[in-house]
Chains A and B, each alone.
Chain A
Amino acid sequence: MWPDERVVRFVTENFIPARVHVKDDAQEFQRYGQKYNAQWTPTILELDSDGTEVHRIEGFLPNDDFLAQLMLGRAQLDFKQGKFADAERRFREVVDQLPDTDAAPEALYWSGVSRYKASNDASALNETARAFTQRYQDSTWAKKSVIWK
């Protein structure tokens, strides 16, 4: 996960990275593990600038899936802040750059929601639902989009 150069670049450009190690930072691990309910390693949290958890990754993932999850969480940060155009662009990047990952269908769904929230144009949702007829048909996110048709 961490060794992947794309991951290194993405983390460096988007976050202040911090680590608490179960043994080497035992007191911090206990304190923040309790605060954020981290009961397993690896647990990676994306926090907003107020320290509020926005996205959680638990367990090891292959590089592409890990990067996609990081990108998904970064998009969710923009979404939570009401930066819907930025969020849409970031969600689309997951779909376009890492289409075969588990994060991609979720990103496709939220890209449609972000576009709708930015434009108040319901066609964004309809187009997203139609996109799900072409790909990720078996995903939970495709099911959630059916109502938009």
Chain B
Amino acid sequence: MTAKAEQAIEFRHDVDNVLAEAGRQHKPVLLDFSAAPM
């Protein structure tokens, strides 16, 4: 994993807002439950 590539995915942490936005945009969500170092 390169730092550059890792930065390219802008994971959001406000899941409530993500789900609301997904409904408005009709766009699917990828939800990652992680324990990896951040």
What is A's interface to B at a CB cutoff of 8 Å?
Answer: 2-5, 8, 11-12, 14-25, 28-29, 32-33, 36, 38, 41-51, 54, 70, 74, 77
Contact = CB atoms under 8 A, between A and B. Distances in A.
Interface of B: 1-2, 5-6, 8-15, 18-19, 21-23, 25-36, 38
Nearest to A15: B30
B38 A47 contact: no
A74 B28 contact: yes
A112 B14 CA distance: 38
A17 B28 contact: no
Contacts, number: 132
B8 A8 contact: yes
Nearest to B8: A8
Instruction: Tell me whether chain A's interface is mostly helix, strand or loop, or mixed.
Output: mixed
A36 B21 CA distance: 19
A25 B15 CA distance: 10
19 contacts: A3-B5, A5-B8, A11-B30, A16-B27, A17-B29, A17-B30, A18-B13, A18-B30, A19-B32, A20-B33, A21-B34, A24-B38, A28-B15, A29-B33, A32-B31, A36-B31, A44-B30, A48-B29, A51-B29
Given A17-B9, A17-B12, A47-B22, A3 B1 contact: yes
B31 A44 contact: yes
A20 B21 contact: no
